[in-house]
Amino acid sequence: MSEITSSIPLQINPDLQEERDKASFNVTELTHIIYGGIEKTKKRKRLEKLLFSDPFFQEYQNVRAFGSRSEYYAASVKKSTKIFKLRRQHKWTDEEYETVLDICHDDLALTLHHTMFIPALERLATEDQKSKWLTLAKQYKIIGTYAQTELGHGTYLQGLETTATYDPQTREFVMNTPTLSAMKWWPGSLGKSSNHALVLATLIISGKKYGMHPFLVQLRSMDDHKVLPGVRVGDIGAKMGGNSVDNGYLILDNVRIPRNNMLMKNAQVSPDGKFVTRGPSKANYATMMLIRVQICTMAYQVVSSGATIGIRYSAVRRQSKLDPQDREPKILEYQTQQYKIFPGLAMSYAFLFASRSLTRKYEEAFAEIQRGDFKSLPELHCLSSGLKSFCSEHSVRQVEIIRQSCGGHGYLNAAGLGMLVNAAAPMITVEGENTVMYLQLARYILKRFAGAMSGQQLDGSTSYLSMDPATYVCPVMSETDCRNLTALCDIYRYRSYMTVCRVARQVQHDMESDMPQHVAINKNLVDLVRAAKAHSYYIVVKDFVEGVDALVASAPVIKVLRTLCCFYAAHGIAEYSGDFLESEAVGLHQLKWIKNLQVSLLGEIRPDAVALVDAFDYHDITLSSALGCYDGNAYERLFKSTENDPMNKEEVHPSYYQYLKPFMEEMNKSKL
């Protein structure tokens, strides 16, 4: 009788334990830094325990892995409602609720209700409207979504075709989807879950268009969830990932809503049809900016989850030979393996600090905006557009590299990496497609650069554009200088300056050669995006360096974070060496030193790699990965995962009797 079983050993895999034993710093101390203090970590742990003591959360993993789309959606609705109920029962604060959503980590069917519908009501409704609609939404007496994107237009909001025509006789808006391309297409939780939608539509009064405004439209009966007259709504179909969410389509045919259902914080239509605006014209874009900021935090969660799985697995997987006399080494010993995974590890910490800094700036600016002061809006719009694009692009790419670094097992659903990549991939597209968002940043940078050229004193994230480039000397004079974080940051800043300067001059030159502005811009789009990326990279490196410098922590924690920060900066310079050389931010000597440093830092990070991912403190259910589990018993967990596979339910699959058996019989009878 074979002794091979799928039972999970009670002890930690010794290979992983060995890693933990040799960490140079206190993991718990770093965990507290990551979560904002001991109390917050404790609270998180308490919430985690409360959630995961319910066996449903474990069962949910099986439905996610093996259920049909409809079963997965249903389980996810159940999960959403369970969490909503727990929130009421335990009177969670908004912060506690956000923590629970972070712990759950994957997309809930009703996710749009809390990620966009409620924030949109908070930002776009008047106080009177809030007391009605927001109260209902927060008590889950209505479930809503944010319906902006149409089949024909997602990016170009001025091209949206859905109309809201004011009828002064009845004091109602008449909502219409005039063409196929005008139908709402993509909104999450729209297809089957929501009974209300915040529909973004072009306001028309007496035949005149007044731009895009938000309208609250009831879609389904509150008695039986049946679709209301004039409304056609459904699911848009299976996607690459995120299939627990019913992204939907919506067609409105002369649906009448009361005048008060237009959210009127930023613009009003009076009963007799007069239009009045307040604040800047882009005030109705406020919800998108919030989510862009949140996407940076999501990108941190995505890449840190991927790094946790990749590093733990690489510490328990043994393969091939390094020393012919020794046993097979852990794959984490191979320098190439470290080179695939450690950039994701360093990026996790970089994005932690960058998203924290962006969130702080957002909160400060939001408080000002609430007081009617909009001066920081342009800076924040551009910073959040750039960082949203940068963090999503880099995290998704890096997690796919980590997936590949796990060899064949990385390709299994049970590894959790494929699902992570596919769930995270839309971060690149949602809330403004990345290229388009980089171009929003580029437009801002060009204007600021022009301001600096005409002697304006700049502040905020672009203040460096007033530097005098003639004073730049590469601050790295020797190999040891390469470890100087301020020097590395200066190199990024100068690279960004030169990239911006070059494209600004080119656009100006093209326009002076009588090229219309739009032609000159389009001719330089690739370089404009390059400039926005260079600026975003500089901001992330700067936030990382400043974040580590400002930390109050023990010497070993500071040391390990400085090493990671140095690696993050050096790796970026090596990876984009062409740009750094072209801008003369570094010369060939410096590049060689930085590349050497990058490789030698791999060896310095290696002993602390497992501890650095343990500090993220992800629960096994949150990670949902046989390869990345805390105990390191990856093989047992992989084997265990096959037990729930419906393919293994019967010894002989029904297809044998249907197809294979008759086929084999026919083949065996055949004379050929």
Ligand X SMILES: Cc1cc2nc3c(=O)[nH]c(=O)nc-3n(C[C@H](O)[C@H](O)[C@H](O)COP(=O)(O)OP(=O)(O)OC[C@H]3O[C@@H](n4cnc5c(N)ncnc54)[C@H](O)[C@@H]3O)c2cc1C
Kindly tell me which of 285 and 567 has the beta carbon lying closer to ligand LEIVNPRT.
Answer: 285
The answer to whether 188 contacts ligand X (rule: CB under 6 A) is yes
How far is the C-alpha of 596 from the C-alpha of 580, rounded, in Å?
Answer: 16
Q: If contact means CB under 5 to 8 A according to the sort of partner, which of ligand X, ligand LEIVNPRT, none does residue 598 touch?
A: none
Closest approach, Cβ 97 to ligand X, in A, equals 19
The beta-carbon contacts of 7-12 under 8 Å, at least 24 apart in sequence, are 7/636, 7/640, 8/631, 8/633, 8/636, 8/637, 8/640, 9/631, 9/633, 9/636, 11/631, 12/630, 12/631, 12/632
Kindly tell me which of 234 and 242 has the beta carbon lying closer to ligand X.
Answer: 242
How far is the C-alpha of 380 from the C-alpha of 91, rounded, in Å?
Answer: 33
The answer to whether 67 contacts ligand X (rule: CB under 6 A) is no
Give 147's strand partners.
199
The answer to whether 301 contacts ligand LEIVNPRT (rule: CB under 6 A) is yes
Give the catalytic positions in this structure.
431
Name the residue number minimizing CB distance to ligand X: 154
Kindly tell me which of 153 and 559 has the beta carbon lying closer to ligand X.
Answer: 153
Q: If contact means CB under 5 to 8 A according to the sort of partner, which of ligand LEIVNPRT, ligand X, none does residue 435 touch?
A: ligand X
How far is the C-alpha of 574 from the C-alpha of 302, rounded, in Å?
Answer: 24
**Residue of 121, 142, 166, 188 that binds ligand LEIVNPRT (CB under 6 A):** 188
Residue type at position 539: I
The answer to whether 112 contacts ligand X (rule: CB under 6 A) is yes
Query: Helix or strand or coil: residue 587?
Result: coil
Size of interface with ligand X, in residues (CB under 6 A): 21
Q: In 234-285, which residue ranges form alpha helices assigned H by DSSP? A: none
Q: By CB under 6 A, which span of 88-96, 143-151, 324-332, 563-571 interacts with ligand X? A: 143-151
Q: If contact means CB under 5 to 8 A according to the sort of partner, which of ligand LEIVNPRT, ligand X, none does residue 288 touch?
A: ligand LEIVNPRT
- Cα Rg of the chain (Å, integer): 27
- The DSSP result for 163-224, as a single string, is EEEEETTTTEEEEE--SGGGSEE--TTTTTT-SEEEEEEEEEETTEEEEEEEEEEE-B-TTT
How far is the C-alpha of 569 from the C-alpha of 563, rounded, in Å?
Answer: 10
Number of Cβ within 10 Å of residue 8's Cβ equals: 12
**Residue of 432, 475, 628, 632 that binds ligand LEIVNPRT (CB under 6 A):** 432
**Residue of 267, 290, 427, 615 that binds ligand LEIVNPRT (CB under 6 A):** 427
Question: Which residues lie below 8 Å from residue 449, measured CB to CB, with a gap of 6+?
Answer: 462, 465, 500, 501, 504
The answer to whether 247 contacts ligand X (rule: CB under 6 A) is yes
Kindly tell me which of 268 and 435 has the beta carbon lying closer to ligand X.
Answer: 435
Of residues 35, 613, 589, 546, the one with CA closest to residue 342: 613
- 155 in a known ligand binding site: no
Kindly tell me which of 110 and 112 has the beta carbon lying closer to ligand X.
Answer: 112
The answer to whether 310 contacts ligand X (rule: CB under 6 A) is no
Closest approach, Cβ 382 to ligand X, in A, equals 15
Kindly tell me which of 293 and 602 has the beta carbon lying closer to ligand LEIVNPRT.
Answer: 293
Q: By CB under 6 A, which span of 258-266, 346-354, 376-384, 499-507 interacts with ligand LEIVNPRT? A: 376-384
Closest approach, Cβ 168 to ligand LEIVNPRT, in A, equals 28
CB of 247 closer than 8 Å to CB of 110: no
Instruction: Looking at residues 81 to 140 of the shown chain, list those that interact with ligand LEIVNPRT (rule: CB under 6 A).
Output: 105, 107, 116
The answer to whether 385 contacts ligand X (rule: CB under 6 A) is no
Burial class (CB in 10 A: 0-12, 13-18, 19+), 306: buried
Give 165's strand partners.
174, 204
- 179 in a known ligand binding site: no
Q: Which residues are annotated as a binding site for FAD?
A: 149, 188
Q: Give me the residues that bind ligand X (CB under 6 A), please.
A: 112, 146-149, 153-155, 186-188, 242, 247, 426, 429-430, 432-433, 435-436, 439
